[in-house]
Structure 1
Amino acid sequence: MKIIDNLRRYAVSTFFLSGLCFTINAQTAPEASPPKAKESEVYCAGFIEYAPAPYRFEIVGGEQEQERRVYSAGDYVYINAGTAQGIRNGQEFSIIRPRGQFTTKLTKKKGWLGVYTQEVGQLRVVDVKERVSVAVITKSCETILLGDLLRAAYPRPAPDLSAERTFNRFADPSNKKRGRIILARDGQEMISTNQVVFIDLGEEDGLRVGDRLVIYRPVGTGNVTRFRDEEVVPNASGGFESERFRGGKFSNQSQRVKDGNSTGIFGPTVNTPEIKRRRPQLPRKIVGELVVTNVQRRASTGIITQVAQEIITGDYVEVR
């Protein structure tokens, strides 16, 4: 029996032992399911909502407010609504914090994109009075404050975040919808994998949850510090060789000449800016990919799934 137990993982096989025949059925391991977005990436990401409805409900107190002003998961808080406003036991709300209308020079869209809203947690109503209710905070994305607003909680799909095995850093454009990364969560400007970003594409552009976008920028751009794009080297001159050994009159550090055949070492020189001006169009520089997790009217939220190098706010995106 011990032999049978040890061999259950293998393919169907027949063994002869002490004149007895044993047939063992295989128990193949199930295929690993693709990674899904975590709850913190779906429910704590935030969004840019174009025309939010007025929020009537808010957190107005806390059970332990005599000694604290911030709250987190497990704490009991009070909300300014009860049976008179239709609140019932077990009802769940998202806790949000609108930060204001969002505009940016990084987009070609006119007007504002919406109200940038942080998602700071979730709560569940546990005791309802006539005009006030008690709720327990079930999830906290960051510290929760009195005055944070509530909106009805609803389930959201967790998109597949598996990275493509083949990542073509020189892929041709898909010629589908294009936009830009206009913001990253927590105001980050240098972004990497598993971080949340916001893009200026939304429902009006046909975007859907689960869409994958390529992140790119023009080649030669993206530095935090700008350098002068030219060569700084000594002018060509003679006499580099010693008088005794005559090693040669050329210097490896002197400027390059365009046509050494006819002008020698003192002719017109080659320089990097000129080369860039007359070269053909180069492939764009692909720096990563993202998956869309939340779509609003004019903007969407996404998670970086793959990078070739650091990503920055202002990088371009294109639907795959």
Structure 2
Amino acid sequence: MRPKSPVAFSGTLSDRLTPYPAEGVASSILLGKDDAREMAAGIFCFIGVGAREGVRTGDRFTIYRPQPGFDRKDLIVNAAHGGTSYGKWQTPIYEARIVEILKRRNLPPRVVGDLVVVDVAETTAAAKIIQSRSEVHVGDLVVRR
């Protein structure tokens, strides 16, 4: 018989379209259990908010990771810079315009998963990752839902 989980959760899990909230309690993952740097569903971790910010046992947080910035190398299709259908139209002016547009883009953070708080201290909380879409890293953002 499987032991009952200390985290009772029956809500809707996040998906890749879960919006990043404009306001709310936010922090980051400080540390994984046993000093883990990469985590997944079922692993315990510690977050940098606690009772002082109003966090309680059972609170649910969504885990986000900021999108990487633009790198000019992202435009390279292969090592020879060949194989692009737009290569004959690509001029230095065109490339400069595209690079400038891509540098200004503002992508929302990527949804990585969900966690539920299992224990709360004054300034930190212990949480269990209940769902992960990819590996969860120390430093990923967490926002209360």
Partners of 1:193 and 1:305 within 8 A in 2: yes
Q: Does 1:292 find its partner at 2:121?
A: no
In structure 1, runs of 5+ residues without a counterpart are 1-34, 38-157, 222-227, 236-250
Larger Rg: 1
Q: Does 1:252 find its partner at 2:83?
A: yes
Task: State the shift of 1:284 in Å.
Answer: 1.6
Matches of 2:139 and 2:101, distance apart in 1: 27
Partners of 1:163 and 1:305 within 8 A in 2: no
Query: Which residue among 37, 41, 46 is the counterpart of 1:189?
Result: 37
Query: Which residue among 195, 217, 230 is the counterpart of 2:72?
Result: 230
- 1:162–1:172 Cα change, 3 Å: same
- 1:253–1:173 Cα change, 3 Å: closer
Task: State the shift of 1:202 in Å.
Answer: 0.3
Matches of 1:163 and 1:192, distance apart in 2: 19
TM-score, length basis structure 1: 0.38
Residue by residue, what CA displacement relative to the aligned partner does 1:20-46 show, whole Å, maximum 9, x if unpaired?
xxxxxxxxxxxxxxx952xxxxxxxxx
- 1:36–1:216 Cα change, 3 Å: farther
Residue number in structure 2 paired with 1:309 = 134
Q: Runs ≥4 in structure 1, deviation > 6 angstroms? A: none
Percent identity over the alignment?
Answer: 29
Task: State the shift of 1:229 in Å.
Answer: 2.7
- 1:282–1:220 Cα change, 3 Å: same
Partners of 2:20 and 2:108 within 8 A in 1: no
Which letter does structure 2 place at the counterpart of 1:169?
R
In structure 2, runs of 5+ residues without a counterpart are none
- 1:205–1:313 Cα change, 3 Å: same
Partners of 2:14 and 2:111 within 8 A in 1: no
Task: State the shift of 1:172 in Å.
Answer: 2.0
Q: Over aligned residues, Cα RMSD in angstroms?
A: 2.9
Aligned length: 137
Greater length-normalized contact order (CA 8 Å, ≥ 6 residues apart): 2
